[in-house]
Amino acid sequence: MRETWRWFGEYDPITLAEVAQTGARGIVSALHAVPYGEVWPQAAIAARKAEIEAAGFTWDVVESLPVHEDIKRGTGDLRRLFANYRASLASLAREGIKTVCYNFMPILDWTRTDLAAPAPGGGTCLTFSAAKMAAFEIHMLGRESAHDDYHPDAIHKGAQWYQDSREADRKALLHAVMSGLPGAVETYDIQGLLTALETYRDLSHDDLRANLARFLHEVVPTAAELGVNLCIHPDDPPRDILGLPRIVSTETDIRWIMQAADDPANGLTLCTGSLGSRPKNHLPAIARAFGARIHFAHLRNVTKRIDGSFSESAHLDGDVDLVAVIDALLETEASRGADLPFRADHGHALLTDTERSFQPGYTLVGRLRGLAELRGVVAAMTERRRNDQSRRKNGSSPSL
């Protein structure tokens, strides 16, 4: 498995020289300054690639080549948007960048209510409080229908939180939720968010699925011709939120997407944290079921609570059996003869992380800890597989 590191280019306070000290070999990046829906200029791609290579890395994965909101809504000049997306894929392919991660979540890329919640043992982590999110939707946005979307305990505790909160608390909650906007360069106030949500009014799950299917039919053939692997990122969290439908949340959703354009170029980014925050998702089983179509992996962990809340845990803690997931991914690598790129996704804010700025979740020390832990698991599982193969050749039983 190939170790990579997400780097936000000119928007990232962490330098490539610092990333080099983590041991990662590849970079996951994007042209974040290009407006959504516009063609990525060949020269800009080449310049970013040259910058990455000059620091001793390869540019292994694009995360993300964004999907314009009009494509998700099925509105606007779709012909131009599809053509631009295909043109960007072609420019990336000419530079030798063949793995492209994207998502199909309306408006928000991810949603958290706390960006610096206390973590066990010290440091801070990203957290989703169902109670605070219920308070945000019901009491701050005035979405009465959101009562149907939350556990009764979350609704009750959310009402109490709102009653006890001050203006500063509500601003902090709005800031946390808005940090999940793509790139988080521009954010909404309450009225702005309500206006954005209105553009999705009456859009159903079936509507969003149909719009995704149209996107796949428009771009997957081009990706296949170019030798580019597209890999959709799961919803985060994997549930409807803010009245917006989510359609990449379960094993059933993923299977539908893979069948909607049944081509290896239409693949999956296996994000164990996103899928892992839904109680019924079994990540090792999902990793095995879609191994042939997993082109990229985000490895992190979460600790869930019964009301729908979850916290991002240390990578080898939490509810997801990452050892079993990695075992499944190594099996996939062996069967495909591929070197699967992965990254330690998110990380606690630890030690000197608290003294510097960083993109939410994208710390230096915290991700370094996560990468080191995952590196150890990969090394141990790889060695076990070698030993098992040797035993089989010698007629012995494999290790348990």
Alpha helices, H only, 184-228: 190-198, 205-226
- Alpha-carbon distance of 276 to 292, in angstroms, equals 20
CB 308, CB 151: distance < 8 Å:
yes
* Residue linked to tokens 């690598």: 333
Q: Which residues are catalytic?
A: 233, 271, 298, 345-346, 362
Give the pLDDT confidence score for residue 354 in this predicted structure. Answer: 93
Q: Indicate the burial class of 319 (C-beta count within 10 angstroms; 0-12, 13-18, 19 or more).
A: middle
Stated pTM of the model = 0.95
132 Cα distance to chain centroid: 22
pLDDT tens per residue across span 49-59: 999 999 999 99
What are the pLDDT digits (tens) for 179-220? 988 654 567 999 999 999 999 999 999 999 999 999 999 999
Structure tokens given for 131: 């109670």
pLDDT values of the chain reduced to their tens digit, one per residue, 400 residues: 999 999 999 999 999 999 999 999 999 999 999 999 999 999 999 999 999 999 999 999 999 999 999 999 999 999 999 999 999 999 999 999 999 999 999 999 999 999 999 999 999 999 999 999 999 999 999 999 999 999 999 999 999 999 999 999 999 999 999 998 865 456 799 999 999 999 999 999 999 999 999 999 999 999 999 999 999 999 999 999 999 999 999 999 999 999 999 999 999 999 999 999 999 999 999 999 999 999 999 999 999 999 999 999 999 999 999 999 999 999 999 999 889 999 999 999 999 999 999 999 999 999 999 999 999 999 999 999 888 777 777 776 665 5
Distance between CA atoms of 311 and 318, rounded to whole angstroms?
9
pLDDT per position as a tens digit, 240-286? 999 999 999 999 999 999 999 999 999 999 999 999 999 999 999 99
* 49, 53, 57, 63 alpha-carbon torsion, rounded to 10°: -10
CATH number of 2-105+200-393: 3.20.20.150
pLDDT of residue 182: 67
Cβ-Cβ contacts under 8 Å for 31 (sequence gap 6 or more): 9, 40, 44, 45, 48
Domain parsing of the chain, residue ranges: 2-105+200-393, 114-198
The answer to whether residues 366 and 348 touch, using CB atoms and an 8 Å cutoff, is yes
Predicted pLDDT of residue 399: 59
- Which of 3-38 are b and which e, b meaning 16 or more Cβ less than 10 Å from the residue's Cβ? bbbbbbeeebebebeebeebebbbbbbbbbebeebe
Q: What confidence score (pLDDT) does residue 180 get?
A: 86
CB atoms inside a 10 Å sphere around CB 281: 19
Question: Which residue type sits at 107?
Answer: I
φ, ψ of residue 99 to 5 degrees: the values are -125, 120
Strand 301-304 to 310-313 pairing: antiparallel
- Please state, in angstroms and as integers, the Cα–Cα distance from residue 272 to each residue in 13, 62, 188, 200, 281, following that order: 26, 19, 29, 28, 10
**Quick one: angle between helices 251-260 and 205-226, nearest 10?**
50
> What does the pLDDT read at residue 184?
45
Tell me how far apart the alpha carbons of residues 10 and 245 are, in angstroms, rounded to a whole number: 33
